A and B are shown apart, each in its own frame.
Chain A
Amino acid sequence: MAKDTSKTLRAALTATAPVFFGYIFVGMAFGLLLQKAGYNALWAFGCSLTVYAGSMQFVLVELLTSWVGLAQTAVVTLAVQARHAFYGLSLIDKFKGLGKKKPYLIFALTDETYSLLCSVKTPEGCDRGKFYLLISALNQSYWIVGGVLGATIGELVPFNSTGIDFAMTALFIVIFVEQWLTAKSHIPALVGIACAAVCLLLFGTDGFLPPALLLTVAVLVAGRRTIERKIGPPAEEPAGDASDGKEAPGSCR
């Protein structure tokens, strides 16, 4: 039993290694920004523990800088986070039968954890739920450590952090490039860019995100037949119950 746990932990550490570097760095950028906005390391810890959302926490710094009201806060959050509602679609089968572990796995479903859980294979003889839980919890711990470090360094060492928020843009560009290189069709990505650009010109920087999302979904629904011909049929879902610990290759994307 103990041997299994250490094997699972080793596998989870290996799987999350790339996220470790990204999260420590981007988390530090968040902590620094939050500290510059007037909140100490305790706030950084609280945000990373409860919100735990990369891009949203950078927007959160703006929301914590000037009071816009809770309704506006909810709308902005919805605009940035709505994509997560679609991420879960690819994991419904993988999370089946995980019982008490499921709520935390769903809570901790960031962009990076999502892409990891989509692609990892549970090592032979290891418990799938435990493996997923370790990956999710390790990722969040990296993120929290980064945020607290950033806020602490910002308090101790005054240095010019102008431009450090580019780390978040860079993280998205990295995900974009990864997706671009593996996508069967580039139409969805191009539709997203075009709709965002058009809505940015029409609605300006403050309110373009919700219309851009809606327009993108509308265009993708309208172009379904063309795009589905390019990407082929969806991968077959595994039959029967998923509690046998077997992985369904290609059940994501």
Chain B
Amino acid sequence: MPLSPLQAVAVIATVVAVTVCCRALPFLVFRDDRPVSGLVVYLGRILPFAIISILVIYCLRNTSFTAAPFGAPEIIAVALAAAIHVWKRNNLLSIGISTVVYMFLLQVVFV
């Protein structure tokens, strides 16, 4: 273990605390029948779309397009996951096939 057990528990507890706060916030702010402002309703409707895009970029943040293989494994696997999902709309197929292909590309093709 790279961290001491106490440090690891402290890190996990911090992550739990912040996560629970984020999830509970709207339920604490808009208790009972206090009306929700129009701006908040608007953000609640559209932010999930914007945030998932940011998270996709976040996952791909360490991809290098300036050195070989110029992000080829990522581009191929991302395109594959999206294409399979548009075609079949099946989470397991999309995630499973694209991950296995990505692992194959990293370990065998672009070594």
Cβ contact within 8 Å between B11 and A64: yes
Which chain A residue lies CB-closest to B53?
A192
Instruction: Select which of B11, B17, B57, B59 is within 8 A of A168 by beta carbon.
Output: B59
Per the bound structure, the CA–CA distance linking A193 and B25 in Å amounts to 26
Cβ contact within 8 Å between B26 and A192: no
Instruction: Select which of A77, A163, A209, A221 is within 8 A of B54 by beta carbon.
Output: A209
Per the bound structure, the CA–CA distance linking A80 and B54 in Å amounts to 10
One of A1-9, A66-74, A143-151 contacting the partner: A66-74
B50: chain A residues at CB < 8 Å are 188-189, 191-192, 195, 216, 220
- For B15, B52, B85, B89, the residue with the greatest tally of chain A CB atoms inside 10 Å of its CB is B15
Which chain A residue lies CB-closest to B24?
A106
Judged by a CB distance under 8 angstroms, whether B68 is at the interface is: no
Judged by a CB distance under 8 angstroms, whether B1 is at the interface is: yes
Q: Which of B57-106 contact A (CB under 8 A)?
A: 57-62, 73, 77-78, 81-82, 85-86, 89-92, 94-96, 98-99, 102-103, 105-106
What distance in Å separates the Cβ of A198 from its nearest Cβ neighbour in chain B? 10
Per the bound structure, the CA–CA distance linking A140 and B68 in Å amounts to 40
Cβ contact within 8 Å between A209 and B58: yes
What distance in Å separates the Cβ of B111 from its nearest Cβ neighbour in chain A? 10
Per the bound structure, the CA–CA distance linking A22 and B86 in Å amounts to 16
B51: chain A residues at CB < 8 Å are 83, 86, 192, 213, 216
Per the bound structure, the CA–CA distance linking A253 and B25 in Å amounts to 18
Which chain A residue lies CB-closest to B4?
A67
Interface contacts (Cβ under 8 Å), in number, total: 261
Cβ contact within 8 Å between A205 and B61: yes
Which chain A residue lies CB-closest to B77?
A166
User: A interface, how many residues as a size bin?
Assistant: 35 or more
- For A50, A172, A213, A227, the residue with the greatest tally of chain B CB atoms inside 10 Å of its CB is A172
Cβ contact within 8 Å between B47 and A220: yes
Annotate A82-94 by CB proximity to B: 1 below 8 A, 0 otherwise. 1111111110100
Per the bound structure, the CA–CA distance linking A232 and B99 in Å amounts to 37
B14: chain A residues at CB < 8 Å are 70, 73-74, 77
Per the bound structure, the CA–CA distance linking A244 and B63 in Å amounts to 51
B59: chain A residues at CB < 8 Å are 55, 168-169, 172
Which chain B residue lies CB-closest to A208?
B61
- For B43, B54, B92, B99, the residue with the greatest tally of chain A CB atoms inside 10 Å of its CB is B54
Cβ contact within 8 Å between A92 and B19: no
Cβ contact within 8 Å between B99 and A82: no
Task: Report if A43-B92 is in contact (Cβ < 8 Å); known contacts: A95-B27, A221-B39.
Answer: no
Annotate A137-161 by CB proximity to B: 1 below 8 A, 0 otherwise. 0000000000000000000000011
B106: chain A residues at CB < 8 Å are 162-163
- 26 A-B interface contacts by CB (under 8 A): A21-B91, A21-B92, A21-B96, A38-B1, A38-B2, A50-B16, A63-B11, A64-B8, A65-B3, A83-B51, A84-B19, A85-B22, A88-B25, A88-B26, A89-B30, A90-B44, A106-B23, A173-B81, A173-B85, A173-B94, A177-B82, A188-B47, A188-B53, A193-B57, A220-B43, A220-B46
Instruction: Name B residues whose Cβ lies closer than 8 Å to a Cβ of A.
Output: 1-3, 7-8, 10-12, 14-20, 22-27, 30, 36, 39-62, 73, 77-78, 81-82, 85-86, 89-92, 94-96, 98-99, 102-103, 105-107
